[in-house]
Amino acid sequence: MFFHPSFVLFCFFLIFSIIMMVCMNSWFLIWFFIEMNLLSFIPLIMLKKSKYSIESGLKYFFIQTFSSILIFIGVLSMFMNFDMYYFLFISGLSIKLGFVPFHQWIVNIVEGLTWPLVGILLTIQKVGPFILFNYMYININEVMNYMVYIISLLCAMIGSLGGLFTSSLRKIMVFSSISHNSWMILGVVSSIYIWMIYFFFYSFILFSVLYILEKFLMNNLSHMFLKLNFFISLSLGISLLSIGGMPPLTGFIPKFVMIKEFTMNYNIFLLVYLLLGAFISLFFYARIFVFNFIMLMHKNMFLSKSNNGAKISLFINAMGLFMIPIVLMIL
């Protein structure tokens, strides 16, 4: 990968903008630092000198610029007391966050990114828009409230079904993120603290999965069956089940917190729908897990690779065995 001295500067501005997003309590300042975050992320995409990365960088720039224009017009409409500013806010933030039905751009650009950038795009780049979403939701009307619920239900459906029809691991991670967005949308409108718990666990687990995928240069489902030995396959399989939310792994903890919140607020329909989407995602991950260990074990039994990275990922995702009783005592 080509390294330029300005790489350190862009990384600094990326981290600085995220910290300032969390610290600010002004809509305009959060929007300003979201734009700084956007301009800092594009040069990182361009570090990989290929036509795919350049194409991804241009698509990312144009899509994010369009969504920023919608948000800015929404701010002006709010000061002018136009009722349509809710729709502009939700549309602009949905595009930035890759919500359904505005998700196709993130599915297209992810193939031109390296695995670390995929992790940043699916986690860190969503911090500012989610915080702005929370501020906007405080004064939302009832009609827009139903619009948020519909977006959440669509994310649960498309995110769970999309991973069934692709063999690209990058796209599978994107559809998994879309599925998790359905939980985080409702979490951020309920309480910013619930969203922080869910987002922290999701980011932690996602990077543990991406670490293995980056370390062993996997881009397709076939690579999982042909390049990994037993222990690494076990670690990656458990990590995938964890990111799908299977109890009692670590990925079940944020879903358990959300289930408790839904039950207390009597949102049973939303809970059942989101759980159905999570079950479909788990079916897909479990199918990979079983197929890898039962049907293709003879192909990867004698491969020798370092297990250090796999041990870290296995430890992270198995922590739920010990953390779930603690969470039960706290809640």
Interatomic CA distance for residues 93 and 114, integer angstroms: 24
Question: For the stretch 27-43, what's the b/e string if a residue is b when 16 or more beta carbons lie within 10 angstroms of its beta carbon?
Answer: beebbbbbbbbbebbeb
Give yes or no for a contact between 184 and 203, defined as CB atoms under 8 angstroms apart. Answer: no
Where do we find the tokens 């109890």?
Answer: 247
| Each residue's pLDDT expressed in tens, for the chain with a length of 331 residues | 455 677 788 888 888 888 888 787 777 787 888 888 888 888 888 877 777 788 888 889 889 888 888 888 887 887 777 777 778 888 888 898 889 888 888 988 888 888 888 999 999 888 888 888 887 776 666 667 788 888 888 998 888 888 888 878 888 889 989 989 999 988 888 888 888 889 988 998 898 888 888 887 888 877 776 666 677 777 788 888 888 888 888 888 888 888 888 888 767 888 888 888 888 888 878 777 776 666 555 554 444 555 556 667 776 777 766 676 676 666 6
Compute the CA torsion angle 291, 294, 299, 301 (nearest 10 deg): 130
Q: Which residue has the tokens 């995110």?
A: 159
Q: Show Cβ contacts of residue 70 under 8 Å, excluding neighbours closer than 6 positions.
A: 88, 89, 91, 92, 95
- Tell me the whole-structure pTM to 2 decimals: 0.88
Is the distance from CB of 195 to CB of 134 less than 8 angstroms?
yes
Q: Exposure string (b/e) for 116-146, b if CB count within 10 Å is 16 or more?
A: ebbbbbbbbbbbbbbbbbbebbeebeeebee
Note the Cα 70 to chain centre separation in Å. 22
307: left (phi over 0), alpha (psi -120 to 50) or beta: alpha
Q: Domain extents for the chain?
A: 6-330
